C-alpha cells in the first residue's frame, strides 16, 4: 500500500447530478477510474467532503452510471473516513489493479441542498451545505424562483 504524495485531483463524471457520479482521479496528467474492491462508505465520505458535496449516502457501482474507459489508476483504496482528501488515504499503487471498468466506483452524495422535516422527500425546511456543515436557509425573499432552483438541485 502506498500513500499519495501531494494533493490528488478528483472528479465525478457521467452521472445524473453533480454529486452522484463515477469517481475519477488524475495521475500523471491523465484521468482514470478507481476499482471498487474494498470501496466503502468511509472512502465515499472523503470524496464527498473533498468535492464539497455534503455527506456520502450511497456507493453505487459505476455501471449504474457509465463505466469508465482508459486507465484504472487505483485499487484497494482505504480511508478512515475522517481524511479531508483522497490523497490522505492509502491504495495498492498507481495502475496496480485486478479489475475491469465494470467495477469502477461511484458515489452518491447528499449534495448542496436538502429538505429536512417534511412529510416526503419533496417537502421540508431547506438547508444548504457550506462545505463543512448544514445550515437552514432564511425565508426572506424566498419565492417561486428560488424554490424552482432548489427543486432542480434535488
Is pLDDT of 15 > 60?
yes
Residue 1: pLDDT band with limits 50, 70, 90? very low
**Distance between CA atoms of residues 134 and 115, nearest Å:** 11
**Distance between CA atoms of residues 117 and 146, nearest Å:** 19
| Full set of structural domains in the chain with CATH | 2-109 (3.10.250.10), 113-153 (3.10.250.10)
Element holding 150 (H helix, E strand):
helix 144-153
**Distance between CA atoms of residues 139 and 75, nearest Å:** 45
Residue 74, classed as helix, strand or coil, is strand
Residue 127 has a pLDDT of 80
**Distance between CA atoms of residues 68 and 62, nearest Å:** 8
Mean pLDDT, to the nearest integer, of 62-86? 85
Amino acid at each position: 500500500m502506498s500513500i499519495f504524495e501531494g494533493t490528488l485531483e478528483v472528479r465525478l463524471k457521467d452521472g445524473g447530478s453533480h454529486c452522484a457520479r463515477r469517481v475519477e482521479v488524475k495521475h500523471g496528467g491523465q484521468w482514470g477510474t478507481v476499482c471498487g474492491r474494498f470501496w466503502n462508505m468511509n472512502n465515499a465520505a472523503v470524496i464527498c467532503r473533498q468535492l464539497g458535496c455534503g455527506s456520502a449516502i450511497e456507493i453505487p457501482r459505476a455501471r449504474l452510471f457509465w463505466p469508465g474507459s482508459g486507465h484504472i489508476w487505483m485499487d484497494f483504496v482505504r480511508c478512515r473516513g475522517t481524511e479531508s482528501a483522497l490523497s490522505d488515504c492509502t491504495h495498492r499503487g498507481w495502475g496496480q489493479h485486478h479489475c475491469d471498468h465494470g467495477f469502477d466506483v461511484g458515489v452518491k452524495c447528499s449534495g448542496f441542498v436538502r429538505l429536512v422535516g417534511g412529510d416526503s422527500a419533496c417537502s421540508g425546511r431547506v438547508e444548504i451545505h457550506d462545505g463543512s456543515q448544514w445550515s437552514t436557509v432564511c425565508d426572506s425573499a424566498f419565492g417561486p424562483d428560488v424554490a424552482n432552483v432548489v427543486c432542480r438541485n434535488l
